[in-house]
């Protein structure tokens, strides 16, 4: 992203936050009790948009008014937060972590946040009100650090200037570390035919060692378990802007299916950001419960928690398809789960020479 | 590391593993019951070497002999493992994760590992017998992914060839991702005066944003909580080979003091590798319990687990100094703990403009 482009975004973000301040100010002037209304962020008000295949908020709205002390305090905190983001972050091109913002509020007297969950929530409010992402306000998470490896040439706008990096030829064996704000990344060139998001570091390293990225022109994305926003945002951009098909390769257990779902359908917590974070066309590659049978993989017994999670997935709209109902039911019957690294039992090359080519063929990707 | 150099190491590793096989074979020929003896790896046989300031094994040895079925099985597994490492890993320049090795043993009939802890342990045995590191056998951990940022120019030997990377000018905002085997890294050049290892990603990002690495010629290492072996090994190499002083900046709680201790003194689990992983001259920078008072930091209450951990540290030889006894006792009295990001309550620049300069001054590093 070029300097001016960044200033534009910072300016737009400031404008939108100022808009909130102005509307509150206007309400004061017009003698209306100041308030803002937000979509109610409860499970009850989350709807699954069949067409868009993502989670969105329903029509329920919550009115946050200064009529009550609680509401007044909450709006006061929102205004303090807006002030911080405009004066400290956007105008000085600075940033803070979610945790730091909680600490910064110490100096806000009665507007001090009681706990971080409160400041996190207000930042989500600002995202909704401004229809921007917290990254646009230069707000960082605590930890991140997923990585990608593959035939992708990027330009990252950093505080130290622009960096052109080829994510296969100009990075170490561990790959290119994804920054917290991937919208600072510009795609310069791409020789990839697909994106494969991989749950575990062990499999990510296996695919790199076996040269899978070269043989299949694949960009490998290490999800590191439940993927961070930046990772999901990057996958979304690779799919939307470069038109690359996305596959997700995880362990074969209910928690891993949720990792896939967060990439493909989004999560309730970030329903207001689905358009930025979600890749509805992402395909689940495996490990499928049917693979446990077909490949006679070594497995572990399902725990009660696992079974519980599988049953709740049977009623989860994100898994409301014949494919998933069949697979999940099969796993409940098998009472077994398998890790993606279990393929090592068939030899170090089996996963890249046999399993993945077969699955990619079934998905029409190889 | 150059091609020949790498072949040499692979060759040396093979030689050392073959040595084990030969000695067992020789014992057969001489009609001696085959056995190997290893230092007993129990807390009771760990000694703290005051001079070297690291943990080392004591003189107790465990004899693993084929006299018993259990011993015979264990040696059989060791031989299978040695065979895998030589034929698959070293001769073909391949590698596996600890988890994959557990799965690979499926095909070893009665030598199959019952659980991963068993294969992990045998790999530690081989490290001890050969006095090499598992990385020399191309054995990887599951997850890794800590990062560094600073004035360091490195050359990493990867499977795709050598990569020259400047860890400040040629990386993204998130820094250079540390590979699992840092002995593939050659230091080409370094303008740094010190290494600062940082516990949290939030503070790591803060120091980069504030330009601390440039102002203090510091290489910033993100520890990501309890540091991985590769991270500790890299810190050790930066200290031993480049003569850089090392400081460790963590949260102010007993668990963070252990993070410092694992960098500076090593851990019981990896006592046989202390010489490779430990930086005895590393200095604890903070957050110190006394900082909670001196800087009036916002704090959280110590939990019972925290208090327990602090008390056990009072009897831990690694904390057997006036400095630590005073600090730990003070924290027990305060009953409070503070995070490194708490400095944000004093403003985004306080940590880099006030706190760190003051602490580095006290340590004679600025």
Beta-carbon contacts below 8 Å between A and B: 176
Interface test with B, best of A114, A173, A209, A349 (most B CBs within 10 A): A173
Which chain B residue has its CA at the smallest distance from A144's CA? Answer: B201
Determine contact: A30 vs chain B, CB below 8 A. no
Enter the DSSP assignment of B86.
I
From chain B, pick out residues whose CB is under 8 angstroms from the CB of A103. Answer: 298, 341-345
B176 and A177 in contact by Cβ < 8 A?
Answer: yes
Identity of the residue in B156, B174, B201 whose CB atom sits nearest the CB atom of A173 = B156
A94 and B205 in contact by Cβ < 8 A?
Answer: no
From chain B, pick out residues whose CB is under 8 angstroms from the CB of A173. Answer: 156, 158-160, 179-181, 184
What is the least distance, in Å, from the CA of B112 to any CA of chain A? 11
From chain B, pick out residues whose CB is under 8 angstroms from the CB of A184. Answer: 173
Residues A274 and A160 in one domain: yes
A205 and B339 in contact by Cβ < 8 A?
Answer: no
B96 and A348 in contact by Cβ < 8 A?
Answer: yes
Boundary-marking domain end, from A109, A140, A171 = A140
Residues A134 and A47 in one domain: yes
Boundary-marking domain end, from B115, B140, B165 = B140
Return the minimum-mean-pLDDT range out of A268-282, B25-39, B192-206.
Answer: A268-282
Residues A129 and A263 in one domain: no
Residues B180 and B102 in one domain: no
Q: How do residues B312-330 score in pLDDT, each as one tens digit?
A: 999 888 898 999 999 999 9
Determine contact: B111 vs chain A, CB below 8 A. no
* A160 alpha-carbon distance from chain centroid: 26
Tell me the pairing of strands B61-65 and A61-65: unpaired
3-state secondary structure at position A186: strand
Assess contact for A150 and A168: CB atoms under 8 A. Answer: yes
Give the domain extent around A25.
3-140
Boundary-marking domain end, from B107, B140, B173 = B140
CA A41, CA A54: separation in Å to the nearest integer?
Answer: 16
CA B2, CA B161: separation in Å to the nearest integer?
Answer: 10
CA A183, CA A181: separation in Å to the nearest integer?
Answer: 5
A298 and B107 in contact by Cβ < 8 A?
Answer: no
- Is position B103 annotated as part of the catalytic site? yes
pLDDT, residue A2, reads: 47
pLDDT, residue B366, reads: 82
- Largest Cα–Cα distance of chain B, in whole Å? 74
B95 and A146 in contact by Cβ < 8 A?
Answer: no
Indicate the number of domains in chain B: 2
Q: Which residue has the tokens 């690979």?
A: B104
pLDDT, residue B238, reads: 98
Determine contact: A147 vs chain B, CB below 8 A. yes
Residues A152 and A136 in one domain: no
Residues B205 and B345 in one domain: yes
Active-site residue among B103, B257, B265, B355? B103
Catalytic residue numbers of A? 103
Average pLDDT, chain B: 90
A170 and B168 in contact by Cβ < 8 A?
Answer: no
From chain A, pick out residues whose CB is under 8 angstroms from the CB of B287. Answer: none
Identity of the residue in B107, B156, B201 whose CB atom sits nearest the CB atom of A172 = B156
B209 and A143 in contact by Cβ < 8 A?
Answer: no
* CB within 8 Å of chain A, chain B residues 177-236: 177-181, 184, 200-202, 205-206, 208-209, 211, 222, 224
Q: How do residues B53-104 score in pLDDT, each as one tens digit?
A: 777 888 888 888 989 999 999 999 999 999 999 998 999 888 888 889 998 9
- Largest Cα–Cα distance of chain A, in whole Å? 74
CATH number (domain holding residue B52): 1.10.10.10
Structure tokens at A250: 């995880």
Residues A311 and A166 in one domain: yes
Per-residue pLDDT of chain A (366 residues; tens, 9 = 90+): 445 555 666 788 899 999 999 999 999 999 999 999 888 877 778 787 777 777 788 888 888 898 999 999 999 999 999 999 998 899 988 888 888 999 899 889 999 999 999 999 999 889 888 888 888 999 988 777 699 999 999 999 998 999 999 999 999 999 999 998 899 999 999 999 999 999 999 899 999 999 999 999 999 999 988 898 999 999 999 999 999 999 999 999 999 999 999 999 887 777 788 888 999 999 999 899 999 999 999 899 999 999 999 999 998 888 989 999 999 999 999 999 999 999 998 888 999 999 999 999 999 998
Residues B208 and B276 in one domain: yes
Assess contact for A132 and A138: CB atoms under 8 A. Answer: no
From chain B, pick out residues whose CB is under 8 angstroms from the CB of A351. Answer: none
Q: How do residues B3-16 score in pLDDT, each as one tens digit?
A: 555 566 678 889 99
Residues A243 and A156 in one domain: yes
- For B253, list phi and psi in degrees, rounded to 5: -145, 165
Assess contact for B161 and B232: CB atoms under 8 A. Answer: no
Identity of the residue in B103, B163, B184 whose CB atom sits nearest the CB atom of A342 = B103
In the predicted model, is pLDDT for residue B115 greater than 70?
Answer: yes
Residues B226 and B347 in one domain: yes
Interface test with B, best of A170, A171, A179, A208 (most B CBs within 10 A): A171
Integer Rg of chain B from CA:
23
What is the least distance, in Å, from the CA of A47 to any CA of chain B? 34
Assess contact for B119 and B139: CB atoms under 8 A. Answer: no
Residues A101 and A187 in one domain: no
Q: How do residues B322-353 score in pLDDT, each as one tens digit?
A: 999 999 999 999 999 999 999 998 888 999 99
Integer Rg of chain A from CA:
23
What is the least distance, in Å, from the CA of A95 to any CA of chain B? 8
Residues B57 and B189 in one domain: no
A165 and B163 in contact by Cβ < 8 A?
Answer: no
Angle at alpha carbon of residue A316, lines to A312 and A321, rounded to 5°: 120
| ipTM of the complex in this document | 0.87
């Amino acid at each position: 992203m070029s300097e001016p482009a960044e200033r534009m975004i910072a300016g737009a973000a400031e404008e939108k936050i100022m808009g909130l301040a102005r509307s509150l100010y206007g309400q004061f002037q017009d003698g209306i009790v100041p308030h803002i209304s937000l979509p109610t962020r409860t499970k009850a008000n989350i709807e699954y948009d069949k067409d868009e295949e993502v989670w969105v908020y329903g029509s329920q709205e919550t009115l946050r008014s200064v009529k009550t002390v609680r509401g007044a305090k909450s709006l006061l905190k929102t205004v303090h937060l807006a002030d911080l983001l405009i004066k400290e972050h956007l105008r000085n091109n600075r940033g803070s972590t979610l945790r730091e913002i909680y600490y910064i509020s110490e100096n806000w007297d009665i507007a001090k946040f009681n706990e971080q969950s409160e400041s996190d929530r207000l930042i989500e409010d600002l995202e909704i009100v401004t229809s921007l992402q917290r990254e646009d306000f230069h707000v960082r998470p605590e930890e991140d650090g997923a990585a990608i490896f593959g035939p992708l040439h990027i330009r990252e706008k950093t505080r130290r200037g622009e960096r052109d990096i080829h994510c296969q030829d100009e990075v170490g064996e561990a790959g290119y570390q994804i920054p917290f704000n991937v919208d600072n990344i510009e795609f310069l060139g791409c020789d990839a035919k697909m994106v494969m998001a991989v749950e575990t570091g062990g499999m990510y390293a296996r695919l790199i060692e076996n040269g899978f990225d070269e043989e299949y022109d694949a960009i490998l994305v290490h999800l590191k378990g439940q993927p961070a926003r930046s990772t999901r945002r990057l996958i979304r951009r690779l799919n939307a802007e470069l038109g690359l098909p996305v596959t997700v390769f995880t362990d074969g257990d209910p928690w891993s299916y949720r990792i896939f779902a967060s990439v493909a359908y989004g999560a309730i917590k970030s329903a207001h950001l689905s358009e930025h974070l979600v890749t509805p066309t992402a395909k689940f590659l495996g490990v499928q419960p049917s693979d446990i049978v077909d490949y006679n993989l070594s497995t572990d017994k399902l725990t009660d928690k696992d079974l519980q999670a599988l049953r709740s997935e049977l009623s989860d709209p994100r898994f409301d398809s014949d494919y998933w109902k069949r697979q999940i039911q099969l796993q409940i019957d098998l009472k077994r789960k398998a890790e993606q690294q279990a393929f090592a039992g068939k030899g170090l090359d089996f996963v890249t020479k046999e399993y993945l080519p077969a699955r990619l063929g079934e998905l029409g990707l190889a």
